[in-house]
Amino acid sequence: MSVHLRIIIQIIVLKLCSAGFSTGRIKEGSFEYSTLNGWMTPKEAVKLCEEDVGCAGFTFHGVLIEDVEFEMYFFSYMPRIHFNSGHPNHWAWTSYKVSRDFVLFPGILINAPDYSRNKRIRLGFDMTQDPARAERICFKMAHCASLVQVGKSEEVAVQDSVFFNWRYNTSHHSTLISLHADVNQVFDTDVTAINKCCPEVPWYTDIDISNTEIPMDIAMVDCKISKQEFHTRFVKRRVPVLLQGCLPKSWFPDPVNNNDQRFAGLNFREILQRLFDRGNDTSTIVSRPKLRRNLIDKMRAKKFKISYKQAEAMYEETMNSQENLKHNPSFTHTRTPNDAHSTYKEMLEALRKGYIRVFLKLSNLKSKLDCYQKYRLPGTEKLLKGHEKCLVLDGFWKPPPMPDDLYARTKYDNDLAWIIMSAQSTGSQLHKDPDHTGAWNLLLTGRKWWAVLPYRAMIDDFTCDTSCSHESWKDGSMAYTWFKHILPQLKDKKFYGKRVVEFVQQPGDVLYLPNGMPHTIFNIDDNVALTENYLFDDGVSTLVRSMALDKIRDSVPWWDEAKAYRYLYNQHADKLLRKEMRETYHKMTSYASKYGQACD
């Protein structure tokens, strides 16, 4: 046995036996005690769990800092804490096991259909009054996993195994489970255990979801919400939300009763032509993220009200700009959409066959005057009401409550912003957004069906297995397979106390999606959307983790990470975020030194 293997086995033994805090994750899906879940400090979570005799421990994403709030996930039993020294994703989680040796709750967990066949012993006292003493008696008996007492009876039933999925809540039973029991004595259904062999589904143009009922599980809020309140309620608490009313409702077509979906007077094909009127030029030509950010700031200062002369000035700036970003656009993803540089001719063919899905970077867009000319008051420089639609089409807009991109402040040329054109029945497979960013998405026409796992889920646990799924799954635009086969298996299940968030995005809706949340999209109609990825406060600690593990330098060597860290620490972070940054960096570098090079 190698030294490295001995270290891993030693760590696993510690994870199984030791009370208190340790690094690693308690997997979702089994033994959850989600009634206690919520945002709190580790110190508060310890107090809550130790005082609640039904709690065995909890887990959270983050390093151990007593006075920083994290989202805590609680459990009634902890079979093991998952930790692999070769996977830094595990280093980012912290778990806690209670100091007592039992959990106790009203009701009964049966270990066989005939509960009456359990062994019985005389206990001689009410175990709810002295559960520690009752556990010591159980511990001394061979194969004792649990004791069950009826009322204040002096007798208890001794169970050699228990099944949490066979729990019956009764007022006259009490059940004590020994936390010394072996993992092969205490069982629960693992709701993450799903069939991931995805079958063949119809071709895009043959898919029919007309009779599908889609719930609206997502939170919704008026776009008039202040930046501060939006940051507090949704960014800091990592809550997906639909912003409504950011732009006039009259701008957007009814996707159900209007087959001619238009924005700014242009239908799907006309918008495509407007974006790609350069003949057979590729879909990604010149990237100008600095220029675009500068123009957006100018538009915000003018409250998105400009004259035709100012529109001409924007046109000249985009036409004459010498900026051309050449570097890898992401350090977490090897590819971003349209890296293949599709030509306009290829897109027209995809449109004809019904599977077009094209991403054009907003920093590639050159301002065009045709749209503004439609709103120009003849003989003047004045633009009529509605010209703001042209700014949206040119990519010079962002939702008013959305916080600023922290990457821009660190001189990182974040270029993760697109206008997306998608054909009906196409989509995107389950994925996380790049570079620890959250995202906003404005829908201009059509509808999108979203499914979001609202926590830092492991994608491989919830996506089709390529080794046994139909080859159609290999097409990155084929999302219907997931919605048809995987999603029905996840409905009505909870993971860390949370259900899959399903909803339909309508024209004019702006989605905010926190970083690290796997999501997938099915396009109900042909649609056009604007989307952009920002670094928000909730992504800073994960960015620091990548810095500490030297995961960025090879992809973006021009970025001064040390200077970026100092800016975020000294100019942006509050006292608690500074502490989180320091502790995250220290812990990650410590593990990297201990375990050497490792892969996510």
**The domain that contains 120 carries what CATH number?**
3.50.4
Residue 92 within any structural domain of the chain: yes
- Pick the more confident residue, 301 or 228: 228
Where a domain ends, among 58, 82, 100? Answer: 100
Based on the domain organization, do 424 and 549 belong to the same domain?
Answer: no
Cα separation of 326 and 324, whole Å?
6
Q: What is the mean pLDDT of the chain?
A: 88
What does the CA dihedral 540, 543, 544, 547 come to, rounded to 10 degrees?
A: -160
Name the more confident of 413 and 504.
504
Closest CA to 157 of 110, 113, 125: 110
Asked whether residue 252 falls in the same domain as residue 115, the answer is no
52 and 7 together in one domain: yes
CB within 8 A of 206, min separation 6: which ones? Answer: none
Q: Are residues 419 and 271 in the same domain?
A: yes
pTM of the model: 0.92
- Mean pLDDT over 581-599 rounds to 85
Question: Cβ contacts of residue 509 below 8 Å, gap of 6+?
Answer: 242, 243, 244, 442, 443
- Rounded Cα distance between 319 and 225, Å, is 36
Q: Which of 146-155, 331-340, 420-429 has the lowest mean pLDDT?
A: 331-340
Q: Inform me whether the pLDDT recorded for 17 exceeds 60.
A: no
SS3 288: coil
418 domain residue, yes or no: yes
Q: What is the pLDDT of residue 261?
A: 87
Does residue 20 lie in a domain region? Answer: yes
H or E element that contains 5: helix 3-17
**Which is more confidently placed, 477 or 581?**
581
Q: How far apart are CA 37 and CA 315, in angstroms?
A: 52
pLDDT band (50, 70, 90) for residue 114: low
220 and 251 assigned to the same domain: yes
Looking at the fold, whether 520 and 468 belong to one and the same domain comes out as yes
- For residue 303, tell me if it sits in a domain: no
517 in the same domain as 586: no
Looking at the domain assignment, is residue 196 inside a domain?
A: no
Task: Dig out the tokens for 343 from the structure.
Answer: 């030509």
Residue 145 lies in a domain: yes
Note the pLDDT of residue 4.
39
Q: What is the pLDDT of residue 281?
A: 46
Instruction: Evaluate if residue 94 carries a pLDDT over 90.
Output: yes
What tokens were used for 252?
């957007």
Full residue range of the structural domain in which residue 77 is found: 3-100
pLDDT at 256 over 90: no
Please report, for the domain that includes residue 505, its CATH number: 2.60.120.650
Question: Which range has the worst mean pLDDT, 6-10, 146-150, 510-514, 522-526?
Answer: 6-10
pLDDT cut 70: percent of the chain above it: 91
Domain termination site, one of 100, 123, 151: 100
Domain boundary among 100, 122, 150: 100
Q: Angle, to 10 degrees, between the axis of helix 344-353 and the axis of helix 268-275? A: 170
Lowest mean pLDDT among 107-111, 130-134, 376-380, 551-555: 107-111
What is the Cα 535 distance to its own chain's centre? 14
* Residue 190: inside a domain: no
DSSP state, residue 411: T
Q: In what order do the strands lie in the sheet with 20-23?
A: 20-23, 93-97, 57-61, 70-75, 38-40
The total number of structural domains in the chain stands at 4
Asked if pLDDT for residue 43 goes beyond 80, the answer is yes
